[in-house]
Amino acid sequence: NEGNEYFKEKDYGRAVAAYSEGLRRRCGDAELDAVLLANRGAAHFHLGNYRSALNDAIQAKKLKPTHLKAIIRGALCHMELKNFSEAIAWCEEGLQIDSKEKKLVEMRAKADKLKGEELERTFLGTQTDFSTCVQGRAVMGTDLLCERNIKLVLEPSDEEEEVSGGLAEISLDGFHSDSATGAKVHLDADGNLNWPVLFLYPEHEQTDFTMAFHENSRFIDHLMVMFAELPPWDLEKKYLPNNLELYFEDEEREEMYEVNPEHTLLQVLQHERYFVKAGTPMVLVFAKRSPFSKKYFCGKKVHRL
């Protein structure tokens, strides 16, 4: 109920937090959990967190396969993520439940059309998107970056690549920054950028990857979803949304900067010392005041909040 009130007030961030708290209660009622997940997915969708919204739709559908709202939401997320084939599949699944659902009928037709246009562009070798591919890496048009004061760094080609000890080069269980499912930053219908963002957990050599982090979404909103349940590798139960510290590294100066979880992605990207490498922003995540973080930052220059 609290989440619904926030949702009506269009305070989607607090709605996400309220629905997440409801899920943490583990009521054991699959029907209610499906509603909580579907509602949280709707709030995420309005925040532009399409990947998180899709994950909630998937979980809601698992609990209740006939949950039409969750299916519609999942299809919408795939549309925003430009996964047109997946959007079509979700629409068809929903139409098997209700063949006259107007939203699904219209979305199915739109997805078909966009998929056809995408195939045609690929065939002709043209790109109508604002991004172009340089040496196999996604690079945005400089006008969109300049107006936002975002600094992008291109990695050298394989022939020119040098060995680097910087954090952007580290590989955790084979998960490298430029191989994160091939996701690219994209421009949505409202003119906002949605970025693929990589979260690194050095203490446990783990990662999280968000395919579409809306530039005006706050980090705390994503953390509330990512850690709504404790990850299996957090045996000490330290990784709670309000017990986390975020940082980014200035490789050139070999300095660390703390990130305010209440800040949006755009605010962080606009920091004078933040440089986006290979089209994928990255942040490091630590449990507050943990022995590992104290050891990790020992001897390093850290700019704290």
- Return d(Cα 55, Cα 45) in angstroms, integer: 11
Q: What's residue 82's pLDDT? A: 86
pLDDT in the model for residue 212? 83
Task: Give the pLDDT of residue 142.
Answer: 61
pTM over 0.85: no
Which CATH superfamily hosts domain 1-123?
A: Tetratricopeptide repeat domain (1.25.40.10)
pLDDT of residue 169: 30
- Structure confidence at residue 122 (pLDDT): 53
Q: Distance between CA 249 and CA 170 in Å, rounded?
A: 12
Task: Determine whether 101 is exposed, middle or buried from the number of CB atoms within 10 Å of its CB (0-12, 13-18, 19+).
Answer: middle
Per CATH, 1-123 and 137-155+178-304 having the same topology is answered no
User: What one-character DSSP code corresponds to residue 100?
Assistant: T
On whether the 137-155+178-304 domain is CATH 3.40.630.30, my answer is no
Extract the residue ranges of the chain whose pLDDT is less than 50: 123-140, 156-181
Do the Cβ atoms of 213 and 219 come closer than 8 Å? no
Query: Which residue from 76, 211, 191, 177 is spatially nearest to 130, judged by alpha carbons?
Result: 191
Handedness of CA 84, 90, 94, 99 (dihedral sign): positive
Compute φ and ψ for 92, nearest 5 degrees.
-65, -35
- The Cα 138–Cα 132 span in angstroms is 6
Beta-bridge partners for 45:
none
Q: What are the tens digits of pLDDT across the range 98-141?
A: 988 999 999 988 888 887 776 655 544 433 343 443 333 334 45
What lies within 8 Å, CB to CB, of 188 at 6+ separation is 48, 80, 194, 214
What is residue 95's predicted lDDT score, i.e. its pLDDT? 92
Q: Where are the domains of the chain?
A: 1-123, 137-155+178-304
Q: What is the DSSP string of 163-180?
A: ---SGGG--BTTB-GGGS
pLDDT at 182 (0 to 100): 53
Question: Smallest Cα–Cα separation from 247: which of 214, 218, 274, 283?
Answer: 283
Q: For the range 250-256, what are the long-range contacts, defined as Cβ-Cβ under 8 Å and sequence gap of 24 or more?
A: 250/274, 250/275, 251/164, 251/166, 251/167, 251/168, 251/275, 253/301, 254/300, 254/301, 255/300, 255/301, 255/302, 255/303, 256/297, 256/300, 256/301, 256/302, 256/303
